[in-house]
Amino acid sequence: MKLNTLVILALMALTMTITSCGEDPIPGCTDESAESFDPTATEDNGSCVYTRDKFLGDYLADLDCAGILSLINTEGFALTISESLSEDVNEVTVTLGNLGIDLKGIVSGNAINLSAMVENFPYDPDGDGVPNFFANLTVGGGAVLDAAGEILDGALTVGVVAVETGVMIDTDTCDILGVKQ
């Protein structure tokens, strides 16, 4: 009788061990919004790659404005594209290092749409370090990253409004060209 009880207990323990083992997790990217999404993955392993990732990094850039903003034309300034603080995996922050301006960027494929409202920008047309007035800038535009992921080429349209008077001074177009470092 003792032997039968021990055999039954051993069989029950073996059955519980066998039935408690599930399938092994399949590691991979489980985020459907990622380019590297793996529909067979059951456990995220941190391998997700997003469309925005190819844009991230530092660029050596040139800014060439045709009109009123030509005073900010710059060759060889630092442009940085970084992940945004938002939850949107397609949103980035584009920092124009020479101006200290952050633009919001939304990535789609190899294109990035840019926008920003910059308040109290010190406008110094004579370049003497003393602003003649302060302007609010409305920035919009976009750029395209080449297939190799190294050249960023685009344009910004900038509306310039005098802070003191609220009068629209001008609209300018600025070409931007950057090489990933």
Number of domains in the chain: 2
Residues 6+ apart with CB under 8 A from 87: none
Six-digit token pair at 152?
A: 């960023």
- pLDDT digit string, tens, across residues 95-143: 998 788 999 999 999 999 999 999 999 988 777 888 888 999 999 999 9
Six-digit token pair at 120?
A: 């109290």
Q: Print the domain residue range for 15.
A: 2-44
Domain match, 149 and 111 both:
yes
CATH number of the domain that residue 100 is part of: 2.40.128
Domain match, 25 and 55 both:
no
Q: How confident is the model at residue 49 (pLDDT cuts 50, 70, 90)?
A: confident
Domain match, 102 and 152 both:
yes
The tally of CA atoms less than 13 A away on the side-chain side of residue 94 is 28
Domain match, 92 and 24 both:
no
Domain match, 67 and 85 both:
yes
